[in-house]
Structure 1
Amino acid sequence: MRTGGRLAAAIEVLDDIERRHRPAADALRDWGLSHRFAGAGDRAAIGNIVYDALRRRRSAGWLLDADTPRALGFGALLLEWNLTPQSLNEMLDGDRFGPELLGTDELRAIAARSATEAPSAVRADCPDWCAPLLEESFGQDWVAEGAALAARPPLDLRVNTLKADRARVMAELAETQAAPTALAPNGLRIPPIDGSGRHPNVQAEPAFQKGWFEVQDEGSQIVAELAGAEPGMQVLDFCAGAGGKTLALSAIMDNRGQIFAHDAEKARLAPIFDRMRRSENRNVQVVSRASDLSALTGQMDIVLVDAPCTGSGTWRRRPDAKWRLTERQLDARIAEQAAILATAKEFVKPGGRLVYITCSVFSAENGAQLAAFATANEDFAPVDHQALWQDLFPDREGLGRILPGGGIILSPARSGTDGFFFGAMRRLH
């Protein structure tokens, strides 16, 4: 396929997403099933256009003064693929499978627009109702943070220190440009892709099959490190999901002590069993039934709550979720988080730690949630987050934002990671 055919296909997928209000991954999968002739390179390029269009939806629509699938597809190429209106029309000219060239009205609209004159929410590429939430979280940096959440993400890996070390995995993945992460001590980063490129299929690598590494954003690795797990501890991962942080904690604990992995949605735990076998994590016990947790009450050194949230910190990877999110969903998540914390606290022993994590950048789900818990539970007190950060990441103070009331924020613009919140409370008695 030439560029025109790829752009036409991307516009078709964007139209499907818009009309049927469905996830981008589902629309791209269905397009691929009905166009089996398309090669892997074409599928990757089409996917890149679609995801670029969704990440930059506000700015693409503003650039062409329209919010149609066509405008978003063309806008994605103009904003992210280093093309000009003239060079794009030259590429499309004569391509019978491509969309119509940019017309006079579209060219006039583009010429009249300047990125520096765009409204703040457009430059942040966020829904209008999310703009105040980002400003509340990031202050004067909110537009830059929103823009960073609309950029292409890197591919991060966590070296499984139970089976390998970072140098060994780097040597195995030399062709992927993997390099050490800035903060996570066992992380590797493959840079964001350019244009029509695609990340290597690292899960097909022998080193992955041998359990030497996991795919995990650096921010997720960092909050696992901050949790403070040590060999011999008793740890409950209360919202374990597929087990990414469970496995990271297991490696930090050097397979000593015990981790109990639980999730209220039992089906989410299914992938953890194969991951444990491949990675040789032997100190993890999966507890699928809530009733089986009763014996752990008041016994845990650490209870980790990786809470369900809006996922606003993952907009680089799931940009379609940004436009499906509603205020009602945010309110529902806030209530759910408070209920989970109220349940999880009972498992923390005196002197133990309750760790609260989200992949959101909204204060209502983060610092405000932690403050509300502290007010309602006088037997818990925030740890010294500044000291915790300095102890683990000395001389890297600027990469994590320490909140005055307790908690740490990671974000793409500041730390180069997905957006994460980390907060820890110690049980006093």
Structure 2
Amino acid sequence: MTPGARISAAIGLLERLDAADAPPADKLLADWARNNRYAGAKDKSAIAGMVYGTLRRRGQIDWWLSRCQGGAPTARARILIWLQLGQGQQLTDMDGAFTGDRFDPPPLTGAEKRVAVELASQRGFELDCQPLSAAANVPDFLSDELTSLYGDTAAVQLSAHGEEAPVDLRVNTLKGDRKTAAERLAAEGVEAVSTPYSPIGLRLRERRPLTGTAVFKDGLIEPQDEGSQLAALMVEAKPGMKVVDFCAGAGGKTLALGAAMENTGRIVACDVSEARLTRAGQRLKRAGVFMVERRHLSSERDKWVKRRAARFDGGFDRVLVDAPCSGSGTWRRNPDQKWKLTREGLDEVMAKQAAVLDSAARLVAPGGRLIYVTCSILPSENEAQVAAFLSQNPSFFTHPAADVWKEAVAGSPYPGDTENPFLRLTPKDHDTDGFFVAILGRKLG
């Protein structure tokens, strides 16, 4: 593909991502690659680089477009800013790619050339006068909440969300240990090192495809961010326990719980998506986890929850609520999703979180624990939700996360603030996705 054809493809993909019904960026790019087999590996890499680069810097790009009076922030306008400030291209470089010939994008307009001239002396995207929403590349309506959370370090903390996330793997301890997994990966040409906090985690030195490797097919490894691994470990699920994974999705944490329980006891993996539970079944089989019952729920108020709660007074030792959330902790992986987030959408998600917590709590046995987890950095989805739940459910109390860590992840350094009863993980401080973990105990009386 010519440079211009690559740019045209990137513009088309960004336009598609702006649609309300757009799939996630990674799926869209995978589908494009599958449907355009003429594109070589370098073409796909260049196109993905432009798409993700533009998405990660979109707040600053739109700010520069506004400052330079560059018109509406279209996919084409954003790509032009990315090429200049992100890739260091000159006006002559862009003129040579925007020819209008065959698959190249149409020639630059006079207004586009004027913006390029205005930016010619600018090196990089940053400028001191940028507001937080631009400097940190986040939706403007979140600025106040994020400033309240991070204070003067907000821009630095949030800038880490613009970096590429590492590839982490969880070692399936039902089939081997971390040393064995690393050695088997190395034998297949994949180099991995131990994760700093998770005792069952590996991190690839460079991004590599894994689904074709024997170590993956045998179920010894499973892709899972280290933060997600730690959240599952903090459930402190033990062999013989009865556990519910209330929002199991495709089963990532269910797999981790099954391994921690050494395939003994019982796990009920619940979700409102039958398709996700089907995928979970495939993963459970590969991992050799056989003590999981998959249960499709019509909603968080499904009749099964009511029957189970009424008959057994909950009866489960651990109930994990990996709650639906904004996904703000995963912006490194899914930068497109931040630009789809709205105030109204966030309010809807928060209402769902409260409903899910309230319903799942009925399944917790006296003396058991309710573990509330989000992949969000927003206090409104985390501390505020827990505070509201505790105010309405006096039979529950907070287990300090640092104390639970000592038992659940013995021998690994605690990544959180010991003065904070909850565990918070961030890309900047821990090089994980953003995660929040609250452990809530149910009183015996």
Q: Indicate whether the TM-score tops 0.5.
A: yes
> How far apart, CA to CA, are the structure 2 residues paired with 1:27 and 1:248?
29
* Structure 2: gaps of 5 or more residues: none
Where does residue 89 of structure 1 map in the other structure? 93
**Code of the aligned partner of 1:9:** A
Rounded to whole Å, the distance in 2 between the matches of 1:20 and 1:303 is 34
Residue of structure 2 in register with 1:285 after alignment:
293
Greater shift, 19-28 or 378-387, is seen at 19-28
1:88 Cα offset (Å): 8.5
Give the partner amino acid of 1:84: G
2:136 to 96, 109, 124: 124
For 1:153, the equivalent position in structure 2 comes to 165
1:61-108 deviations in Å (ceiling 9; x for gaps):
33454433234224445565xx32349928956986555578353132
Q: 3-state SS of the aligned residue for 1:229?
A: coil
Are 1:69 and 2:84 an aligned pair?
A: no
Structure 1 residues 234 and 104 mapped into 2: Cα distance closer, same or farther (>3 Å)? same
Give the equivalent residue in structure 1 for 2:266.
258
**One-letter identity of the residue aligned with 2:204:** I
Are the structure 2 counterparts of residues 31 and 287 from structure 1 closer, same or farther at C-alpha, using a change threshold of 3 Å?
closer
Q: How many Å separate the matches in 1 of 2:184 and 2:95?
A: 39
Select 2:194's aligned residue among 180, 188, 204: 180
1:175-212 CA deviation, whole Å, 9 max, x = no partner?
Answer: 333211111111111256xxxxxx32111111111101
Alpha-carbon deviation of 1:341?
1.1
Q: Determine whether 1:208 maps to 2:216.
A: yes
Q: For 1:396, which of 383, 395, 413 is the aligned residue?
A: 413
**Does 2:436 match 1:426?**
no
Q: CA deviation at 1:338?
A: 0.9
In the other structure, the counterpart of 1:163 is: 175
Which aligned pairs between 1:244-323 and structure 2 lie closer than 5 A? 244-289=252-297, 290-293=302-305, 294-295=307-308, 297-323=313-339
Structure 1 distance, partners of 2:82, 2:185, is: 31
Displacement after TM superposition at 1:263 (Å): 1.3
- Aligned match of 2:113: 103
How far 1:33 sits from its partner (Å)?
5.9
Match status 1:115 vs 2:121: no
- CA separation of 1:135/1:393 partners in 2, compared to 1, >3 Å: closer, same or farther? farther
Partner of 1:195: none
Change (3 A) 1:60 1:110: farther
Q: Secondary structure at the match of 2:46?
A: helix
The Cα shift of 1:238 comes to 0.9
Aligned to 1:190: 204
Q: String of CA shifts for 1:356-383, please: whole Å, max 9, x gaps.
A: 0011111111011011111111111000
Shift of 1:315: 1.1
Alpha-carbon distance in 1 for matches of 2:121, 2:410: 47
Alignment-mate amino acid for residue 207 of structure 1 = V
Instruction: Please tell me the root mean square deviation across aligned C-alpha atoms, in Å.
Output: 2.7
**Partner residue of 1:226?**
234
In structure 2, the partner of 1:362 is 378
Shift of 1:12: 2.4
Aligned to 1:256, the other structure's residue is in SS state coil
Amino acid of the structure 1 residue aligned with 2:14: L
Give the residue type in structure 1 aligned to 2:277. Answer: L
User: 1:34 deviation in Å?
Assistant: 5.6
Deviations, residues 109-153 of structure 1 (Å, cap 9, x unaligned)? 252576141322212111111112222333332212221112211
Q: 1:265 to 1:35 in 2, by over 3 A?
A: closer
8 Å Cα contact 2:191-2:204 kept in structure 1? yes
Deviation at 1:52, TM superposition (A): 1.8
SS in 2 for 1:324: coil
Judge conservation of contact 1:176–1:190 (CA < 8 Å) in 2: yes
8 A contact 1:60–1:76 mirrored in 2 = yes
Structure 1: runs of 5 or more not aligned: 193-198
Q: Which residue identity lines up with residue 215 of structure 2 in the other structure?
A: A
C-alpha distance 120-273 of structure 1, shift in aligned 2 (>3 A) = same
Residue 388 of structure 1, CA deviation: 2.6
**In 2: Cα distance, 1:189 partner to 1:18 partner:** 32
Which of 248, 251, 254 in structure 2 is aligned with 1:240?
Answer: 248
* d(CA) in 1 for partners of 2:16, 2:431: 32
